[in-house]
């Protein structure tokens, strides 16, 4: 069943990527996100699962579909928690930049942290550096330990950090230590996952980003045998209360992989929308569109990269490209 679901989830992220890619570089991030969300939601209706969205487009009164608590799937024996980001990198697509993906994670009911929409401080590495990082360790120590684990010099390390003013000190310290830095405008899920692939060119991901995205990335890293640590960063009393309601007595405790994703019944799927370190973006040809997808199963550790050619409806499009793929 889970082998079949892995491929079905690939179809879900492919549909969202195809719909969103039509909006690349057109300056309308909302239209791109809406197109991805509509296509993903429609494709979920074809998958034989009893799914509940635990990380999605927002609360019920904030999102028309894929909202937190929404039931998805055509029904079946597989009772799953679903975490989705139909378009991770709305600004990236709007500006035609690199690194946008459509992504989802699925796990047995109750096995995904219901992360609230707030910030999370994160650090992620691949399998070779497990046990060599700590969120509270000095930046310089983490860099040295990871470099040693990978058999590299610090000036050969590649560190991915979101390009934000809040990271000015982190960036400065990494540079002073001698590490190479890739600053990204948005979308830290793919770079976090890419740390687990030796040929990705990314050795470590650090910094503060979205908590929901942190849990989605953690699902893939758990499947791949890497390590990730996170700490929620509530900024208001309301956010503090939300953390406590999730069962976190100490909202600022360090969250390990087991805190964010439990068990090995995890599936992760992502399709590139624009080219990135892990996945190629959607490409159009005379025959249709080509997508590049990764699907990872936690139970077996199997990683599948799928290059798919989709025949497209070539009639003029005036809407948002929903369900344009024929398979």
Binding residues for Mn(2+), as ranges, are: 33, 57, 85, 88, 213
Phi-psi region of 211 (alpha: psi -120 to 50; beta: other; left: phi over 0): alpha
Strand order in the sheet with 158-162: 180-184, 158-162, 204-210, 119-125, 227-233
Question: Residue 294 corresponds to which tokens in the numbers above?
Answer: 């990764």
Distance CA 205, CA 185 (A): 14
- Three-state SS string over the chain comes to CHHHHHHHHHHHHHHHHHHHHCCCCCCCHHHHHHHHHHHHHHHHCCCCCEEEEEECCCCCCCCCCCCCCCEECCCCCCEEEEEEEEEECHHHHHHCCCCCEEEEEEEECCCECCCCCCEEEEEEECHHHCCCCCCCCCHHHHHHHHHHHHCCCHHHCEEEEECCHHHHHHHHHHHHHCCEEEEECCCCHHHHHHCCCHHHCCCEEEEEEEHHHHHHHHHHHHHHCCEEEEEEECCCHHHHHHHHHCCCCCCCCCECHHHHECCCCEEEEEEECCCCCCCCCCEEECCEEEEEEEEEECCCCCEEEEEEEECECCCCCCCCCCCCECC
Distance CA 165, CA 314 (A): 44
Residue numbering of the annotated binding site for substrate: 88-90, 119, 164-166, 186-188, 210
List binding-site positions: 33, 57, 85, 88-90, 119, 164-166, 186-188, 210, 213
Residue 261: what are its φ and ψ, rounded to 5°? -140, 115
């Amino acid at each position: 069943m889970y082998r079949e679901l892995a491929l079905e989830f690939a179809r879900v992220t492919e549909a969202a990527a195809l719909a969103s890619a039509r909006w690349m570089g057109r300056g309308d991030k909302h239209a791109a996100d809406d197109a991805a969300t509509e296509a993903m939601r429609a494709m979920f209706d074809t998958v034989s699962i009893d799914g509940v969205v635990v990380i999605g487009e927002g609360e019920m009164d904030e999102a028309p579909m894929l909202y937190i608590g929404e039931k998805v799937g055509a029904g079946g024996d597989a009772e799953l928690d679903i975490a989705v980001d139909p378009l991770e990198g709305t600004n990236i697509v709007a500006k035609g930049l690199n690194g946008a993906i459509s992504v989802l994670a699925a796990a047995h009911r109750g096995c995904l942290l219901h992360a609230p929409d707030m910030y999370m401080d994160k650090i992620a590495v691949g399998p070779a550096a497990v046990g060599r990082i700590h969120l509270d360790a000095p930046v310089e120590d983490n860099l040295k330990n990871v470099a040693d684990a990978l058999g590299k010099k610090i000036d050969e390390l590649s560190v991915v950090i979101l390009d934000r003013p809040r990271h000015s000190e982190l960036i400065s310290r990494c540079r002073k230590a001698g590490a190479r830095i890739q600053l990204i405008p948005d979308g830290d899920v793919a770079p976090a996952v890419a740390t687990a692939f030796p040929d990705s060119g990314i050795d470590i991901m650090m910094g503060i980003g979205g908590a929901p995205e942190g849990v989605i990335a953690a699902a893939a890293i758990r499947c791949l045998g890497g390590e990730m640590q996170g700490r929620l960063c509530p900024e208001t009393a309301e956010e503090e209360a939300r953390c406590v309601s999730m069962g976190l007595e100490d909202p600022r405790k360090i969250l390990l992989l087991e805190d964010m994703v439990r068990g090995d019944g995890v599936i992760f799927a992502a399709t590139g929308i624009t080219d990135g370190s892990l996945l190629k973006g959607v490409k159009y040809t005379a025959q249709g569109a080509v997508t590049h997808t990764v699907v990872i199963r936690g139970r077996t550790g199997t990683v599948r990269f799928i290059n798919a050619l989709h025949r497209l409806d070539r009639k003029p499009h005036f809407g948002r490209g929903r369900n344009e793929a024929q398979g």
